[in-house]
Every structure is written in C-alpha cells, then in structure tokens.
Amino acid sequence: MPATAATPVQARSQWRILLNHLRRDQLAMIGLVLVVVIVASAILAPVLVPHDPNKLNVRHRLKGPSVEHFLGTDQMGRDVFSRVLMGSRIALQVALISISIAGSCGLLLGMLAGYGPKWLDGALIILFDTIRSFPTIMFALAVVTLVGPSLNTVILVVIVTSIPVYGRIVRTQTQALRNNDFIMAERAMGAGPARILGIHILPNVIGPLLIIASMDIPVVVTIEAGLSFLGLGVRPPTASWGTILNDGYAFIRNTPWLVIAGGVPLILTTLGFTFLGEALRDVFDPKLRREV
C-alpha cells in the first residue's frame, strides 16, 4: 500500500541513497557537476561577466578568442562570453517559471481528471488532445502574431503546451490510485474528495511529476533557444543562446566561434539535466529504483 506521505526518516534514507548513487554513477556525477556549474553561472552572471554584454565596439567585430574576449566578439563587437553567461539566466528563467506553472496546473487538472466524474475527465482529455494537436512552432507563430515576440511569449507557449503532458501523467497516476484499498478505506470513513486528493493522492503522484519536470528543463531551454533563433523569443539586444546561434549562423563564414558559443551551452545543459534526472528517477521512482 502506498504511503500517504514520506516520513523524515524515509526522506533522509532516500537522499542517502541518492548520494551513494551519485558517488558510484559517473554519468550522474557528471550531470550534477554540469547542473551546478550552469545554475551557478546563471545566478552569478552579473558578477562574472568581464564586459557589458550589450556594449558595442564595431572596431573589434568578429574577433577570435583572446585573453580579453574568451570566446571572441560578435558582429557588433560585443563580448560573446559575457552574452553566453547572461543568456544562461534567460534560459533557466524561462525553464523554471514555465515548468513550475505548467507542472502546478497539470498536477491540479490531472488529479481532477483522474478522480473526478467521467464527464470532467472526458472534457479535460479533449482539451489536452486539442492543445497537443498543434505543433509547438505553429502554436508559437500564432501566439506571436497575436501578442508579439517577447520573453513572456516564450513562457506562455511553453506553459500552454506543457500542461497537457503533465496533466496526462498525473491523471494516469491518480486513476491507478483511486481504487486502492487505502483510498476506499478513507471513503468509508467519510473523507471528502479534497482530503483524499490533498493528503493521500498528491504525495504519491508528485514524485514522478517532479522527476519528469527536472528532465524537461533542457527541453524547455531548447525550445526557448529555438524560438529566439527564429526571432520569436527575446528581442535584441537581450542576450540569449538562440540569438547567439542566429548571429553565428549568419556569420559562420567569417568566424565559427559564435555557433560554438551558442551551441555548446545547449549541449552541456541537455546532458547535465538528463544525467541528473535519470539518477533521480532511479532513486525516487519505486518501479525503476536500482540497488545502489
């Protein structure tokens, strides 16, 4: 029978298992190091940047790496390393805000669909399927046409397209739990739907949701970069990995450093969060847990 909530002893035991797993799994440790470096770079970017990321210096445009400019300069003479650091703040800001909101909404709607009446379940499933039937880029184009390109537009697109994914996952988990013996016993004792959902079902469905959300962070970062690359995301002169890639593509015959500077952070972010997310899944998901 699933536990209604993790006790402090169980929580400490799970964290101990996770630490042991990280020590023994090289990929998990690499993922942890990458995530820590990326997050720290984003948080400390205003302190770490050696130059103003938006300062123009046309005389030094498209320069290669040097002591003064670690990753060279772009077509307007701006320091690329500084723009990469500031771009990490945009990437993680979009990922954390959009996943937090989408996960919360998906959690609520998924539990309502899985535990509520059939007509509500059917209506929410139709809504989920309708939203997911639109390709993300096409949906983004439609939203940009209505409200214009901006950082908030990117966040809105990610939230709307992610809610159905989390909602379906939580719905499936809720339906698997609603007829369990401990839920039936609560009903027999007169517990209402709000108490059952909040105390008994929520602790059992939020774990898998958090694991999936952590593994979706690089997906959202890539979506933000892709939309910014297409001109549908952040507006100049704001630094973004997608806009850096766009500049690099336009001037790739002059210098390859812009493409490298914009692409490598995306690759490292994807690897870091994927490796760390798989470690969290192995430890906290009872069905996939391995002996460590």
Per the model's pLDDT, the better-predicted residue between 231 and 246 turns out to be 246
Instruction: Kindly state whether residue 229 falls inside one of the protein's structural domains.
Output: yes
* Closest to 82 in 3D by CA, of 54, 43, 63: 54
Beta bridge partners of 73: 79
Tell me the two tokens of residue 7.
């006790």
The pLDDT of residue 166: 93
The pLDDT of residue 17: 63
Lowest mean pLDDT among 18-22, 86-90, 177-181, 251-255: 18-22
Instruction: Kindly state whether residue 43 falls inside one of the protein's structural domains.
Output: yes
Residue 263 confidence class, pLDDT cut points 50, 70, 90: very high
CATH of the domain at 71: 1.10.3720.10
Give the distance from CA 20 to its chain's centroid.
Answer: 25
Instruction: Kindly state whether residue 112 falls inside one of the protein's structural domains.
Output: yes
Q: What is the DSSP code (8-state) at residue 59? A: G
Statement: residue 192 has pLDDT above 60:
yes
Give the distance from CA 35 to its chain's centroid.
Answer: 12
Per the model's pLDDT, the better-predicted residue between 62 and 186 turns out to be 62
Q: Residue 183: give the domain boundaries.
A: 9-284
Q: Which residue has the tokens 């007509």?
A: 119
The CA distance from 14 to 26, in Å, is: 19
